[in-house]
Amino acid sequence: MTQLKKVINSYQLWSIAVGLVISGEYFGWNYGWGTSGTIGFLISTLIVTVMYVTFIFSYTELTAAIPDAGGAYEYAHRAFGAIGGFIAGFATLVDFLLAPPTIAYALGSYAHFLNDSIPVIPVAIGSYVIFITINILGIKESARFSLMMTILSIVELVIFMVIIFPYFKTENFIAHNPPTISIGGVFAGIPFALWFFVAIEGVAMVAEEVKDPKTTIPKAYISGIVTLVILAFGIMILSAGVGDWRKLSNIDYPLPETLAMVLGQNSYFAKIFASLGLFGLIASFHCNTISYSRQIYALSREGYLPDFLSVVNEKFQTPHWALIVGGLIGFVAIFSGTNSDIIILSVLGAVVMYGISMLSLIVLRKKEPNLERPFKAPFYPLFPIIAFILSVVCMVAIVYYNQTLGMIFFLGMVVCLGGYYLKRKLK
């Protein structure tokens, strides 16, 4: 079988780590203001940040020790066997298959903001066609493109924060909040706080294509999470303090609208920013396309999905069928629900995967004590335990406040598990 090509260096892997997530700085998180207010959502984000910092420092140990495109699936399979691997693989697949449709829809929304004659859905569909094609042409070219888009996105977000900083007022940030901050309100904001960081774990899915994974993966993960934490808090806090944040709590383009509040609704700069804001959405869409295709490829290679999905193109050494089929699923998701619902399903998949990955880390420390671990989780076992507990808290919060979506997720898991066992029985 044709193998994936090892070409990604430290800078490119950092750009993929940040690029996977950076669209979350542009949209999605602002829905949390509608559920929790700015103060409650700040607390939600602090909880989620602790979870991600402890998770990434723990997950890096697994990825550097087991650089496999299956990522969490491979770790859980080695720790718990076929069932554990399936749960981790299903959750990861939901995470990465459902993130791109929301980003594609946001791309369409930003384009529509620039010119209201541009329809949202055709732009979203066109994004899939373009970036699936780019990814089929080769991982080396895709990694270079990711690095360029990620750097441009970070520069733009820094400029955004510099522009709005003089307009920040604490009284705006605390205005219009509920009279008391409730635990329920904080929990309701958790799915949207996760959107600031969700998908950074996708680095694991390109681990087979990394040069010198023992040193490259830890550098990329740790520098990536530091970059994202700084951007997340800067953007969220400053945006809430420039005016009436309620006007930003239910739209897919909060940053250009924030600039419009500061500089005026007819500001050309706000329009220019929206056009540049496409860089961040493009970076995330592109990087998530890489990740979902590698997860499909890995699960197919292990027998969980149809065999043709693990076929690698001989010329470009990319999993072309995994890219195309994942794109078709994305088309269906774009038409099937609102962005907020798709975001909730995506982050539910993520937190389930986080929890089982932390358990896998603990089990593999005992089960495979001689496994070479180029990077070890600091403060072990405290960090993975904290990450596990908070991932369970996040999962419970998501399901409690979104019971129908939770039922769809877990029912889908059971149905797919049944399909897997039926496939094995028929072989």
In 241-267, alpha helices (H): 254-263
pLDDT in tens, 126-144: 989 988 988 888 767 777 8
Burial state string for 22-45 with b = 16 or more CB within 10 A and e = fewer than 16: bbbbbbbbbbbbbbbbbbbbbbbb
CB 143 within 8 A of CB 287: no
Q: Which pair of structure tokens corresponds to residue 221? A: 């993960």
Mean per-residue pLDDT for 365-372?
95
The confidence score (pLDDT) of residue 362 equals 97
Provide the 3-class DSSP secondary structure of residue 114. Answer: helix
pLDDT in tens, 162-188: 999 999 999 999 999 998 889 999 998
The confidence score (pLDDT) of residue 343 equals 81
Side chain identity at 144, as an amino acid letter?
R
Mean per-residue pLDDT for 251-257?
84
The CA distance from 359 to 375, in Å, is 17
Burial state string for 52-91 with b = 16 or more CB within 10 A and e = fewer than 16: bbbbbbbbbbbbbbbbbbbbbbbbbbbbbebebbbbbbbb
The confidence score (pLDDT) of residue 3 equals 60
408-to-59, 421, 422 alpha-carbon distances in Å: 27, 20, 21
pLDDT in tens, 279-314: 888 888 888 888 888 889 888 888 888 889 988 888
The confidence score (pLDDT) of residue 4 equals 64
CB 72 within 8 A of CB 351: no
Q: Which pair of structure tokens corresponds to residue 331? A: 């088309």
Mean per-residue pLDDT for 238-251?
93
- What average pLDDT does the structure give for the chain? 88
Provide the 3-class DSSP secondary structure of residue 210. Answer: strand
CATH superfamily, region 10-398: Amino acid/polyamine transporter I (1.20.1740.10)
Give yes or no for residue 154 having a pLDDT over 70. yes
- Contacts of residue 135, defined as CB under 8 A and 6 or more positions apart, other chains included, come to 142, 286, 289, 290, 293, 318, 323
Residue spans per domain, the chain: 10-398
CA 296 to chain CA centroid, Å, is 16
Q: How many CB atoms lie within 10 A of CB 269?
A: 14
- Contacts of residue 86, defined as CB under 8 A and 6 or more positions apart, other chains included, come to 73, 304, 416, 417, 420
- Exposed (0-12), middle (13-18) or buried (19+): which is 237, by Cβ within 10 Å? middle
Q: What percent of the chain has pLDDT over 70?
A: 96
Rg (CA), the chain: 20
pLDDT in tens, 350-361: 999 999 999 999
